[in-house]
Amino acid sequence: MKHFIFIILLFFTSLAKAAEALSVNVPDTLAERVKACAICHGAEDRHSRDAYYPRIAGKLEGYLFNQLRHFRDGRRYYQPMAILLENMSDEYLQEIARYFAALDLPYPSPESVTLLPSEANLAEKLVYSGDLKRNIPACSACHGKNLMGTAPFVPGLLGLHSTYLTAQLGGWHSGGLIRGKIANCMADIAKQLTYEEINAVSKWLTTQPVSGKPANQLSPEMAQRCASIVSENGDAR
Amino acid sequence: MIQTMIIIARESKNNFLFLGYMLALLVVADTTMVNASPEKTAMSEQRRAQGEYLARVGNCLGCHTAKGGRPFAGGHRLITSFGTFITPNITPDKETGLGSWREEDFWKAMHEGKSRDGKLLYPAFPYTEYTKVTRTDANLIFAYLQSIPAVSQSNPPHEIRFPYNSRPLLYLWRALFFKQGVYEPDPSKSDEWNRGAYLVQGLGHCNACHIARNVLGAIQEDTVGGGQIMGSNWYAPSLTSRREAGSMHWTIEEIIELLSSGVSQRAMTSGPMGTVVRQSLQYLSQDDLRAMAVYLKSLLESNAQPEVNYPEMPENVRKYLAQGEKLYKKYCEECHGITGQGASGIYPALAGNRSVTMTIPTNVIRSVLNGGYPPTTAANPRPYGMPPFQQIIRDEEVAQVVSFIRNAWGNRGSLVSAIDVGQSRGSSH
């Protein structure tokens, strides 16, 4: 009898093993579903080859959702993103945005770049005071006093690589393919900047330590100036 | 109206006069209600809903909406080997859309491929298929299109290259390749089969992609035999070949599942077909899906090739494939499995996968380069996806890994080179 039970047990164990080999075991989680994103926006820090890909963990949900839709709908251009998102619903993109916004991963230590004192001065002036003569507001006026962004749509500027920051500001500045398709206040501001200023600000931002939370609300003046960003949320597909 | 009454009440010093006003208003209100009879409203609402459904089946939205643009306002760029067509605005705007069109005009476009002014339309508008649509269905679609919000949007003109930009050439083209006529049911087949054939050949215009075209962009045979999609680096597999996307050996249920949800046990829609599922097929009624499945399953197999006994692989080929196997273990095995078995409905199996082994390797190369997600549909709202591997591996490595999966676990397919990989790039969608 014992022998018989043993054989029965052996039979079921091997059946289970066979079933396992038949199909890959896939967790029913969002983390598994967005594994495709991690190849570029990985959890680990990538300073060298992949410095271009921005960190998305912990960014504001509203900001991430808007960017996902911009990539999908061709308002922000990057081919790999456009292809990945092409057939995704708003609901799913919102869920993905919420997932990455809630990811609480440690920030890497700031990038070490050579920043001349003159560059640092120039950057700090633009970041905290802007240049009123040229109608350039301080970065901190929208992106928060601590530059960690303003809910719900304005992104934080810290914890990003200088390559990425330069490319974005440069894209707006030249009205190029990447960012030039979105007419908004950021494009207007970046068009006023010189290349020297773009470089200085990007380098300075990347050397700053990350700490603090995003601000709650834009000032009425900036909310009005950047009304197109605030109202982006209403775009139906 | 309430405001009017309040004004009247304030101004009328005489209560009697006010009562008179009120009575008059009531009478007016009453006649208005009689004029818009509830049956008539219900009927036009029903016609509108039917038209909306048919417009979904025909996927008018797919071409007549620019990426991120207003629905049906046109401006989508259709890139072909003859130049770029910019789709027109078909909302009921008087100036820039179909606002001044009549039912008759719409019928002429769908059935004869002619614009309102008699100008011949370019067959980028698939009237070669739409000509099979019945007058009743065309009228319903028109009624729906006239009921959507008008959008004022003028789109730029087509950018067609010489000599194709000469419209008279279209006369010649039509004489050679256009057969006008509504779908004629085959009395020897069931109603269901005929409905499926009507949808696949006509309104669904599957032939627009799943067919080989000659140098003049005309369909070569009247079967859904597979072909390169114009202006896109995707190959639309043959629906009449067991080795491609033929479904003669599938169950009706599985065909329905793939068309309506975008994924099934052993297949997954991607690229342009994923878009068609998202924009159109997922909204089809069960009856229509079943009819399409019945028809597709019944298609006769074309060029059935006998099983080939492949010779033993030479040493250098085996070495090349071993390189690919290494990459497979590193990047692919976690999802697609040790034996290429995949996870049903989530990560497609690669063993026995026809998209992997098809003679033309474009689609499998593109999948590795760009990754992608199947469409979000009601039945599969949160799909799993594949990363764009071009971000981290070189063309040579893509070629190695694709060659490996085309020849592992019982698969057999030609080897792929870095040049093939390079040629599969260069299309934005």
Q: Do residue A84 and residue B372 have CB atoms under 8 angstroms apart?
A: yes
A24 touches chain B (CB under 8 A): yes
Rounded Cα–Cα distance for residues B231 and B81 (Å): 6
Rounded Cα–Cα distance for residues B417 and B317 (Å): 12
User: What is the CATH T-level fold of the domain A30-234, as seen in this structure?
Assistant: Cytochrome Bc1 Complex; Chain D, domain 2 (1.10.760)
- The whole-number pLDDT of residue A177 equals 67
DSSP chain A: -HHHHHHHHHHHHHHHHHHHHHS-----SHHHHTHHHHTTS-SS---STTTTSPP-TT--HHHHHHHHHHHHHTSS--HHHHHHHTT--HHHHHHHHHHHHH---PPPPPP-----HHHHHHHHHHHHT-BGGGTB--HHHHH-TTSS-BTTTBPP-SS--HHHHHHHHHHHHHT-TTTTT--SHHHHHHHHS-HHHHHHHHHHHHTSPP-S--BS---HHHHHHTHHHHHGGG---
Average pLDDT of chain A to the nearest whole number: 85
Q: Do residue A86 and residue B372 have CB atoms under 8 angstroms apart?
A: yes
Nearest to A87 among B68, B376, B384 (CB): B376
Residues of chain B with pLDDT under 70: 1-36, 220-225, 231, 303-308, 426-429
Orientation of helix B38-57 relative to helix B135-147, angle to 10° = 100
Which stretch of DSSP H or E encloses residue B267?
none
Burial (CB count <10 Å: 0-12, 13-18, 19+), residue A41: middle
Q: Indicate the annotated binding residues of A for heme c.
A: 37, 40-41, 81, 139, 142-143, 186
Give the position of tokens 């074309």.
Answer: B302
Rounded Cα–Cα distance for residues B225 and B207 (Å): 9
Q: Do B111 and B130 touch, CB atoms closer than 8 A? A: yes
- The whole-number pLDDT of residue B97 equals 97
Q: Indicate the annotated binding residues of B for heme c.
A: 60, 63-64, 206, 209-210, 332, 335-336
Q: Do residue A25 and residue B343 have CB atoms under 8 angstroms apart?
A: yes
- Residues of A (195-224) whose Cβ lies below 8 Å from B: none
Size of interface A-B (CB pairs under 8 A): 103
- The whole-number pLDDT of residue A185 equals 87
Burial (CB count <10 Å: 0-12, 13-18, 19+), residue B34: exposed
Under the banding of pLDDT at 50, 70 and 90, the label for residue A17 is very low
- The whole-number pLDDT of residue B302 equals 77
A79 touches chain B (CB under 8 A): yes
- The whole-number pLDDT of residue B168 equals 83
Say if residue A155 is preceded by a cis peptide, omega within 30 of 0: no
More confident residue, B293 or A235: B293
- The whole-number pLDDT of residue A3 equals 63
The beta-carbon contacts of A112-115 under 8 Å, at least 24 apart in sequence, are A112/A207, A113/A162, A113/A203, A113/A206, A113/A207, A115/A200, A115/A203, A115/A204, A115/A207
**CA–centroid distance for B303 within its chain:** 26
- Partners of residue A92 in chain B, C-beta under 8 Å: 376, 381-383
- The whole-number pLDDT of residue B226 equals 74
DSSP B357-388: H-SS-HHHHHHHHH-B-PPP-SSSSS---B--
- The whole-number pLDDT of residue A175 equals 79
Neighbours of B118 (CB within 10 A): 8
Interface test with A, best of B59, B67, B275 (most A CBs within 10 A): B67
Q: Do residue B382 and residue A37 have CB atoms under 8 angstroms apart?
A: no
Q: What percentage of chain A has pLDDT greater than the value 90?
A: 57
- What mean pLDDT do residues A15-42 have? 80
- Residue closest to B398 by CA, chosen among B425, B416, B371: B416
- Partners of residue B335 in chain A, C-beta under 8 Å: 24, 26, 35
Residues ≥6 apart with Cβ < 8 Å to A10: none
- Residues of A (25-54) whose Cβ lies below 8 Å from B: 25-26, 30, 32-40
Give the position of tokens 């100008």.
Answer: B119
Neighbours of B328 (CB within 10 A): 21
B340 touches chain A (CB under 8 A): no
- The whole-number pLDDT of residue A128 equals 97
**Backbone phi, psi, residue B402, to 5°:** -70, -40
